[in-house]
Structure 1
C-alpha cells in the first residue's frame, strides 16, 4: 500500500465503531466510579450542596496493615491507609465511591487529563447554560463557556469543564435533542436522562 492509502485506511479504521466482542459473564454496566480526594467531608459537602448528589453512608478506616495487603489488593503503598470511604449517588448514574487515603508516597496533585491515568467525571444536565451560570454563582471555577461538539458522533452535545474545590476535572454535558451517532446508527448511547 502507498503511504497515503495507509493513512486513509488507518483513519477509516479509527472512525469505524467497534461492536463488543468480549463476553464477560453477566456484565451489565458501570456500578460505581472511585475517586480519591484530600478531604471526604469537604468533597461530599460539595457534591451534595452544590452538585445535588445524595450521600448514602461512610465506612473505614482500613489499615495500616503489617503485611502487603494494600499492595496486593489495591496496588498502593503497603503502608497506605484508607481513612474513610463515603458512597454518593448523583441522579440517574453510577455511584461515586469517595476515598480519603493517607500514604507515604501520595501525590497531592490531581492528574491532568493529559496525564496517564487522567480522568474526569461528566454530569448530564438539561440546560447547560443555566447549569454553567449556577456553577459560577456558587463560586465554582468554570473553564470557558459551553462548546458544541461538531463533526463527531457526539454532534448535538454541548460541554464545558469545571474544577472541583480540590482541583479534580469535572464536566457538564447536554444533548436535549440527542446525538448524531444515535440518529445515524439507530442505537442508543447510554444517557442518564433515559433508561437507554
Structure 2
C-alpha cells in the first residue's frame, strides 16, 4: 500500500479576508500561502456549473494545515448540521480548555455548551467542547488528560 499523510482540511467561507483574520486571532494560525482569484474546472470539483472562480489560503498551526476557500462563482449559502454526512468538525488541541474557552468567548465565539468532561471509557479524563466560527463551521476544542510526570 502506498504511504498516505493527511495534508490539510478545507472549509468554504463567504469572505476569505475575514476568515483569515478570525483564524489568526482566534487560534493563532498563520498564512503559509495564498491562492489568487483562480478559474477552476467545475467538473474536477464535482460542481454542476459552467464556471467556477475561487480564491484561497493555507493556514498553519502546530504542523496542521487548514485550507480556506471563498467561491466567487458559484456562491453558496447553505450550512449543514454536524450530524450530516461529510466533515463534521475540525478539532484544535489545547493545553487548558477553560482558558481557551474563555479567550474565544471574549472574541465573540459561540459554543454549544460549557466544556464537557468525559467520565468513562477510553476517552475518560478528556475535556471537549464544540463551537462555531462566524460562518457556522463547527470546531472542537479538546484537552487530553494530563499524564503524571515520569
Q: TM-score, normalised by structure 1?
A: 0.68
Asked if 1:78 corresponds to 2:49, the answer is: yes
The 1-side partners of 2:49 and 2:106 are apart by 42
| CA shift for structure 1 position 85 | 1.0
Asked if 1:26 corresponds to 2:3, the answer is: yes
Structure 2 equivalent of residue 142 of structure 1: 111
Asked if 1:63 corresponds to 2:39, the answer is: yes
RMSD of aligned residue pairs (Cα, Å): 1.8
Query: What stretches of structure 2 of length at least 5 have no aligned partner?
Result: none
| CA shift for structure 1 position 177 | 2.2
The 1-side partners of 2:127 and 2:133 are apart by 20
Q: Secondary structure at the match of 2:121?
A: coil
| CA shift for structure 1 position 118 | 4.3
More helix by share: 1
More strand by share: 2
Structure 2 equivalent of residue 128 of structure 1: 97
* Alignment CA distance shift 1:78-1:60 (3 Å): farther
Matches within 5 A, 1:112-127: 112-127=81-96
Question: Which of structures 1 and 2 has the larger relative contact order (alpha carbons within 8 angstroms, sep 6+)?
Answer: 2
Q: Deviation digits for residues 37-95 of structure 1, max 9, x if unmatched?
A: 1111000100001211111221132226xxxx321x11113334232110100223x21
Aligned length: 147
- Match for 2:22 among 46, 68, 74? 46
Q: Secondary structure at the match of 2:69?
A: strand
Q: Secondary structure at the match of 1:46?
A: helix
Structure 2 equivalent of residue 170 of structure 1: 139
Q: Secondary structure at the match of 2:3?
A: coil
